[in-house]
Amino acid sequence: MTAVGIGTSAIGDMPGAHGYSVDEERAAAALDDALSGSFNFVDTGANYGAGRSEQRLAASIARVSPAGLVIATKVDRDMTTGYFGGDQVLRSAEESLERLGVDSVPLLHLHDPETMDFDDAMAPGGPVAALRSLRDQGIAQHIGVAGGPASLMKRYVETGEFEVLQTHNRFTLLDRTADELLDAAASRGMGIINAAPYGGGMLSDAPRGTTRYSYRDASSATIAASQKMREVAAAHGISLAAAALQLSLDDLRIHCTVVGMSTPGRAASTLALADTPIPADVFAELRSLTPSRDEWLND
């Protein structure tokens, strides 16, 4: 899989999470463009717009027919009742396969395990056992765990049940909450995916005046740090987004960095950001502006 992956959460049209809508026409144009580019890994999920992300992705794949595409999706709780038992995992996987129009996927994650009790998740016949059975049946070639709170994710990593870890918003220029989590996964030889290197837009080149980080209101210290980073980057004639992306790409523990691509041209601009030369002293200055640990998500 390529070092950069195509993120499709916003493709599902989730304005509550992302702050903007993505209609059918825009989604089609963005996906067709991204799938025609250099990236061969695409990340989606059952609850991204109640399945819209998967449906729109499948339609684009049918149009573009990208060679060697690696699809990762995620099994999810029932978004109406919150139920996340083993049978829900099986049902979620079946529905995802139907929406994607495939019989199996290369990678299937247990998504947002913070929404259930850890012991329930690990119990016989529970969600993790169900996910394992999907791999045993060949429905998923590999299984992973994808979610937020780093301390909880570390518990799942330490079970040895998963081959892949996906974290988000917790290893960026503004927040390194996931540092120990990445160490734990790397020490076990797991594949590691880092999503949302821009923290939901605060570190992007078009922050839309955002004061939110990782789907929540950011602290004043975090906002101030992002503004100072932007000033430093501009003074040196570089893009802050390039530095934010390269922080993840340059970390040897991370195998793939997932970037949301909900507008046409995003694939090409992401490649340009990845290739932007950044002097070591400028990178060091930007890293020195990371807020203190007590400003991180620290979960």
Distance separating alpha carbons of residues 203 and 197, to the nearest angstrom = 8
Cβ-based neighbour number of residue 145 at 10 Å:
28
Best CA proximity match to 35, nearest among 3, 13, 18, 59: 59
> What six digits make up the tokens of 194?
């880092």
> Whole-number mean pLDDT of the chain?
96
Distance separating alpha carbons of residues 106 and 253, to the nearest angstrom = 21
Predicted model pTM: 0.95
pLDDT of residue 209: 60
Q: Tens digits of per-residue pLDDT, 8-38?
A: 999 998 887 787 888 999 999 999 999 999 9
> What six digits make up the tokens of 129?
């056992």
pLDDT band at 121 (very low <50, low <70, confident <90, very high): very high
Report yes or no: 177 and 170 within 8 Å, Cβ to Cβ: yes
Q: What percent of the chain has pLDDT over 70?
A: 99
pLDDT at 191 over 90: yes
Residue boundaries of the structural domains of the chain:
4-295
Give residue 138's region: left, alpha or beta (phi > 0; psi -120 to 50). left
Average pLDDT rounded to a whole number, residues 210-218: 89
Best CA proximity match to 43, nearest among 69, 79, 82: 69
Average pLDDT rounded to a whole number, residues 182-187: 99
Distance separating alpha carbons of residues 131 and 124, to the nearest angstrom = 12
Q: Tens digits of per-residue pLDDT, 34-89?
A: 999 999 999 999 999 999 999 999 999 999 999 999 999 999 999 999 999 999 99
The CATH number, out of the four listed (3.10.20.600, 3.90.1150.10, 3.20.20.80, 3.20.20.100), of the domain defined by the range 4-295:
3.20.20.100
Average pLDDT rounded to a whole number, residues 211-238: 94
- Positive or negative, the CA dihedral 75, 76, 77, 79 is negative
Distance separating alpha carbons of residues 227 and 222, to the nearest angstrom = 9
Give residue 54's identity as a one-letter amino acid code: E
3-state secondary structure of 193: strand
Cβ-based neighbour number of residue 96 at 10 Å:
23
CA-angle at 254, arms to 253 and 255, nearest 5°: 120
Report yes or no: 110 and 89 within 8 Å, Cβ to Cβ: yes
Q: Tens digits of per-residue pLDDT, 236-266?
A: 999 999 999 999 999 999 999 999 999 999 9
pLDDT at 210 over 90: no
Q: In sequence order, which residues have a C-beta less than 8 Å from that of residue 150 and are 6 or more positions away?
A: 167, 170, 177, 178, 180, 181, 297, 299
How many alpha carbons lie under 13 Å from residue 157 in its C-beta half-sphere? 27
Distance separating alpha carbons of residues 179 and 139, to the nearest angstrom = 32
Dihedral, CA atoms, 57, 62, 68, 73, nearest 10 degrees? 30
Distance separating alpha carbons of residues 273 and 233, to the nearest angstrom = 13
